[in-house]
Structure 1
Amino acid sequence: MAQAGSGRATFVVKILNTQNATWQGTIDWMDGRRSEAFRSALELIKLIDSALPQEGEVEKEA
Structure 2
Amino acid sequence: MTDLEKYITKRKKTDKDFAKGYEEGFENFKTNKIFAERAEKGDWEKAREFLAKVPDIEAEDYDKL
- Common fold, TM-score beyond 0.5? no
- Structure with the largest fraction of helix: 2
Q: TM-score, normalised by structure 2?
A: 0.29
What TM-score does the superposition give when structure 1 sets the normalisation length? 0.29
